[in-house]
Structure 1
Amino acid sequence: MQGQKGEAGQISTPEPPRGKSALWYCGVGGGGFLLLALLFFLLGFALFVARTSTVSQPGPEISIDAIIVLTGGRARVETGLALLRERRGTRLLISGVSPIIGGRHDFARILGADPELLECCVDLGREALNTSGNALESAAWVKKHNYHKVLIVTNRYHILRSLAELRHQMPQTELVPFPVEQTGGVFRSSENFRLFVSEYIKFLVVWARNFTGWPARP
């Protein structure tokens, strides 16, 4: 009988129901795989959050050629313009500007920024529709100006995926992250938690795409 002691005095393991052994093993194996995948996902998410929270803003003593802002919020653009005014870089690219916004003067009016600053030292990139597009647009801009060290401005939760996209497009360029504090920590609210989980999943997709060599889609 099942569960009785064998000849060696050991408890025998339960046998799968007769006629269903293949299905039973598939169920156990599938359940174990899903559990293992969930554990890896949670561990990876914890590491992602920890790494994201430890990215610091570089000080003014670091020499930078230029600044790139990945659009997605007013705070990012205002931070990039402030860094340009502080002469942290000689030129600024704002990647992913909406086509409904006019030229530099309209952009300056909307932000309340100095039109002369935008006219002399700011380029508005209008081709990018997402982070992959930001990376392609930024790489072309960096190559055009022959920059070697660039400051990357975006929200903290977005910084790791942005760097993965950008480094894939311009591996020879040194990228210095400048995270913008806006949303707070991952556990500050349910909305923040969902935002970080969504960003982590997107980061995994980018990592897998870069690892397999699958081309980026702008």
Structure 2
Amino acid sequence: MFRRFFAFALLIWLFGFLWFAIALPRPLPDDVHTDAVIVLTGSQGRIEHAVNVLKAGSAPRLLVSGVDREVKPKEFAAEFSVSPRLMACCITLGYQAYDTHSNAMEAAQWVSEHHAGSVRLVTADWHMRRAMLELGREMPADVRVERDAVASQPSFGALFLEYHKLLARAALNLAGQ
């Protein structure tokens, strides 16, 4: 009996991991407009993509969540080719977050303050599912969140670790934490 249960659980885990690794979330089409963009700092290409979405007019404002406290707005603007006008009017550097959960809390507070009804979440494809799970816990219920995954080439180890972080967070959600 125990061996059958263990084999069944292992099979579910394996198929879940295969789905997780093969069916990574995709980028959002350019013609989708939202009230705001939220980008979670981390792997390469995320911030560049979010700034390009802002410059293209697909959203009027941007929150960069999880910025290192050492980074100054002028340094950010120079690094990502952002004009002073765009920086002043439309980009908020969020210094409060240090992990995905605190990204979600920082983003939810910012969305409430800016009365956004829809947001485009930008993060790496391998990170999107857990980021959406965390955001779903914190974001006001009436806010529509669109997934805009930045394509990457994650290693097997990164996928393995992220899959288990997602499972752990989902288990905590089920337990009501």
TM-score, length of structure 1 as denominator length: 0.75
Aligned partner of 1:89 in structure 2 is 59
Aligned partner of 2:146 in structure 1 is 176
Aligned partner of 1:47 in structure 2 is 19
Q: CA deviation at 1:32?
A: 4.1
Aligned partner of 1:77 in structure 2 is 47
The code of the aligned residue for 1:201 comes to: H
Residues 118 and 143 of structure 2 are in contact (CA less than 8 Å); yes or no, is this contact kept in structure 1? Answer: yes
Q: CA deviation at 1:80?
A: 0.5
How well do the aligned residues superpose, as a CA RMSD in angstroms? 1.6
- The 3-state SS of whatever aligns with 1:154 is strand
Count of residues paired in the alignment: 176
Q: Distance in 2 between matches of 1:111 and 1:57?
A: 20
The code of the aligned residue for 2:162 comes to: E
Give structure 2 stretches of 5+ with no counterpart: none
Q: CA deviation at 1:107?
A: 1.1
- Show CA shifts across 1:130-166 (max 9, x none): 0001000000000111111100001111111111110
The question of 1:212 aligning with 2:145 is answered: no
Aligned partner of 2:123 in structure 1 is 154
Q: CA deviation at 1:38?
A: 1.8
Aligned partner of 1:22 in structure 2 is none
- The 3-state SS of whatever aligns with 1:56 is coil
Residues 39 and 64 of structure 2 are in contact (CA less than 8 Å); yes or no, is this contact kept in structure 1? Answer: yes
Q: Distance in 1 between matches of 2:42 and 2:146?
A: 19
Higher CA-based Rg: 1
Q: Distance in 1 between matches of 2:80 and 2:33?
A: 27
Q: Distance in 1 between matches of 2:45 and 2:32?
A: 22
The code of the aligned residue for 1:71 comes to: T
Residues 41 and 65 of structure 2 are in contact (CA less than 8 Å); yes or no, is this contact kept in structure 1? Answer: yes
Bigger relative CO (Cα 8 Å, ≥ 6 apart): 2
The code of the aligned residue for 1:211 comes to: L
Superposition pairs of residues 1-218 of structure 1, within 5 angstroms: 29=2, 31-52=3-24, 55-102=25-72, 104-170=73-139, 171-183=141-153, 192-214=155-177
Q: Distance in 2 between matches of 1:63 and 1:85?
A: 12
- Show CA shifts across 1:52-86 (max 9, x none): 2xx33222332311100000034101110000000
- The 3-state SS of whatever aligns with 1:157 is coil
Q: Distance in 1 between matches of 2:16 and 2:105?
A: 27
Q: Distance in 1 between matches of 2:116 and 2:19?
A: 32
TM-score, length of structure 2 as denominator length: 0.92
